[in-house]
């Protein structure tokens, strides 16, 4: 009596489209064995694609066939040849391997007599038809997905920060998903600052609760889907395309390109490390020791009944001042730097006049961007003419076109973002804030936290201050502040309408860049 191993296989789409099922195939194979007096040695059930033979159950079957002690001829039975394989190359290789095991593959609905040489033609037909069907189906899927991408739709599993959703008509789309979306925005913003390496930013996000591996994070920050761009890969002679997406972007294009410059090493910002200073020691590092000239630090001494705060020299000079005494001496000195109303008004007029003279409302930046855009278009046009004249080949032209397209996209993004930046650069609000706070500088100083107090001190004085225990001596002030104080001194008791020499020579005195404190 003959014997055989039974193999049944389905894939999800075939089961839905053709009605195949494992029990139905198994029942037909058992009935065939019963009618032909074949002993079924085992049944192997598979739910896997037939693109190749890396299938769990098939590998188990091969192991059994290889380990057989008696090398008597046996068969492996299945319903049709497409249950066996959908790749003609792999199918012939497997048939040869089975023959080396003294095993013959047979399809009960498409029987072939291998003793007849011409039967190999029918075998080729049976094997090639499933492969052609698979290839056509894959081509249709790829074409459909490409059309959807060209329409601006994301056609894959949603990246981190997004979630896959469906419209009522069944069309798929992606939408922002919190809190991952906020984490991705923060990651792009931190990388754009240039202070930390991308992996340091990833670890920072991980500490905040954003779970992402290093390799995946690098893929994410290079994916333009976050700025609303879908990349359509080149196909059939067409070049790569960048399409405006239909989903909501998490960041703008200018930020995305800025991040790409940072991670490519083309743009790096040096951000100073902030010094953490206790609230009671705003002058730490700004006062020189009266004995050795080194800067004073600050610390807290623990007494029997209380704690005591001191500025002191760390070099062992035994110079020590109570915090309240030195802080009060500085605040007394700070009162001298407040502007009177007349000086404040004139200072506002001088700065606005200089600003309007050197800045034309962003026109300079816009003109420069337009010139750079025109230059890239001329380069592309020149390359096109050289291609037509056979001066360069098609590969060189495509490389030039790709480089120009990338630069044009970045320039257009900056041009679109220019009005927003010009508005942010408006000096009117900064001037009102600056004059308002310097009209009562002492009160403004008292209202700030320690970091802003230190920022204010460093912007006012270019050198360290000296304190002898009673008097605080301040060094030369910064250049912008010296101009303010000069105006303040000259206008004491004078009217704003009076003709002043400093006003006539303002452009020769005011530096090209005036340092203003931008924080309100």
pLDDT score recorded for residue 480: 56
pLDDT at 482 over 70: no
pLDDT band with cut points at 50, 70 and 90 for residue 57: very high
The dihedral sign for the CA sequence 141, 143, 148, 152:
positive
pLDDT in tens, 339-366: 666 666 666 676 666 666 655 545 667 7
pLDDT in tens, 144-163: 888 888 888 888 888 999 99
pLDDT score recorded for residue 266: 60
Mean pLDDT of 311-335: 83
pLDDT band with cut points at 50, 70 and 90 for residue 44: very high
- Reported pTM: 0.48
DSSP H helical ranges for 117-230? 119-150, 180-193, 198-207, 214-221
pLDDT band with cut points at 50, 70 and 90 for residue 29: very high
Q: Which residue has the higher pLDDT, 187 or 501?
A: 187
In what helix (H) or strand (E) does residue 378 lie, and over which residues does it extend?
A: helix 363-388
Residues above pLDDT 70, as percent of the chain: 77
CA pair distance 461, 296, nearest whole angstrom: 16
Lowest mean pLDDT among 78-92, 251-265, 427-441, 444-458: 427-441
pLDDT at 18 over 70: no
Mean per-residue pLDDT of the chain: 79
pLDDT band with cut points at 50, 70 and 90 for residue 513: very low
Q: Which of 102, 103, 122 minimizes the C-alpha distance to 112?
A: 122
The token pair that represents 514 in the structure block = 């005036």
CA pair distance 459, 93, nearest whole angstrom: 79
Q: Which of 143, 492, 466 minimizes the C-alpha distance to 336?
A: 492
Q: Which residue has the higher pLDDT, 207 or 342?
A: 207
The CA dihedral of 387, 392, 395, 400, to the nearest 10 degrees, is -80
Lowest mean pLDDT among 30-44, 138-152, 246-260, 457-471: 457-471
Exposure string over 54-77, b if 16+ CB within 10 A, otherwise e? ebebbeebbeebeeeeeeeebbbb
Mean pLDDT of 451-474: 80
Beta strands in 201-306 (DSSP E): 229-232, 241-244, 287-288, 296-302
pLDDT at 6 over 90: yes
First to last CA, the chain: 96
Q: Which residue has the higher pLDDT, 85 or 497?
A: 85
Long-range contacts of 91-100 (CB under 8 A, 24+ apart): 91/127, 92/127, 94/53, 97/62, 98/65
Mean pLDDT of 70-88: 87
- Name every residue whose Cβ is closer than 8 Å to that of residue 397 and which is 6 or more positions away in sequence: 383, 384, 386, 387
Mean pLDDT of 392-411: 82
CA pair distance 294, 317, nearest whole angstrom: 10
CA pair distance 121, 127, nearest whole angstrom: 10
pLDDT at 401 over 70: yes
CB 328, CB 312: distance < 8 Å: no
Residues above pLDDT 90, as percent of the chain: 12
What residues are paired with 229 via a beta bridge? 244
CA pair distance 289, 47, nearest whole angstrom: 82
CA pair distance 6, 82, nearest whole angstrom: 15
CA pair distance 97, 77, nearest whole angstrom: 16
């Amino acid at each position: 009596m003959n014997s055989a191993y039974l193999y049944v296989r389905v894939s999800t789409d075939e089961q839905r489209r053709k009605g195949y099922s494992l029990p139905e195939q198994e029942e037909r194979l058992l009935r065939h064995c019963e009618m032909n007096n074949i002993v079924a040695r085992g049944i192997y059930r598979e739910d896997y694609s037939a693109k190749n033979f890396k299938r769990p159950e098939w590998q188990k079957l091969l192991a059994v066939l290889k380990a057989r002690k008696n090398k008597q001829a046996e068969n492996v039975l299945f319903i049709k040849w497409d249950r066996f394989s959908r790749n003609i190359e792999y199918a012939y290789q497997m048939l040869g391997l089975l023959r080396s095991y003294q095993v013959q593959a047979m399809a009960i609905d498409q029987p072939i007599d291998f003793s007849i040489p011409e039967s190999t033609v029918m075998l080729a037909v049976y094997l090639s038809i499933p492969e052609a069907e698979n290839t056509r189906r894959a081509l249709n899927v790829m074409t459909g997905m490409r059309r959807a991408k060209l329409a601006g739709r994301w056609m894959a599993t949603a990246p981190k920060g997004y979630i896959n959703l469906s419209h009522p008509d069944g069309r798929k789309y992606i939408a922002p998903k919190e809190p991952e979306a906020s984490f991705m925005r923060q990651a792009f913003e931190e990388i754009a600052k240039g202070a930390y390496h991308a992996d340091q930013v990833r670890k920072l996000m991980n500490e905040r609760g954003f779970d992402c591996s290093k390799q995946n994070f690098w893929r994410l920050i290079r994916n333009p889907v976050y700025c609303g761009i879908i990349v359509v890969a080149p196909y059939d002679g067409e070049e790569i395309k960048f399409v405006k997406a239909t989903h909501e972007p998490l960041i703008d294009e200018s930020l995305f390109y800025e991040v790409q410059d940072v991670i490519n090493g083309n743009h790096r910002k040096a951000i100073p490390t902030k010094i953490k200073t206790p609230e009671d020691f705003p002058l730490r590092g700004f006062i020189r020791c009266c004995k050795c000239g080194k800067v004073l630090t600050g610390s807290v001494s623990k007494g029997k009944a209380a704690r005591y705060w001191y500025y002191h020299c760390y070099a062992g000079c035994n110079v020590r001042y109570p915090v309240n005494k030195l802080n009060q001496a500085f605040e007394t000195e700070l009162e001298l730097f407040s502007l009177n109303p007349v000086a404040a008004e004139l200072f506002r007029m001088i700065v606005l006049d200089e600003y309007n003279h050197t800045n034309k409302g962003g026109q300079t930046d816009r003109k420069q961007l337009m010139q750079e855009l025109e230059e890239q278009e001329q380069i592309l046009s020149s390359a096109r003419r050289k291609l037509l004249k056979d001066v360069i080949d098609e590969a060189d032209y495509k490389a030039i076109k790709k480089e120009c397209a990338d630069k044009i996209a970045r320039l257009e993004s900056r041009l679109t973002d220019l009005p927003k930046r010009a508005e942010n650069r408006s000096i009117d609000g900064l001037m009102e804030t600056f004059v308002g706070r310097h009209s009562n500088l002492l009160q403004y100083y008292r209202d700030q936290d320690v970091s802003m107090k230190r920022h204010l001190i460093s912007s006012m004085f270019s050198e360290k201050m000296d304190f002898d225990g009673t008097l605080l001596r301040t060094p030369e002030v910064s250049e912008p502040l010296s101009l303010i104080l000069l105006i303040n001194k000259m206008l004491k008791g004078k009217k704003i309408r009076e003709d002043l020499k400093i006003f006539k020579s303002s452009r020769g005195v005011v530096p090209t860049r005036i340092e203003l404190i931008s924080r309100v």
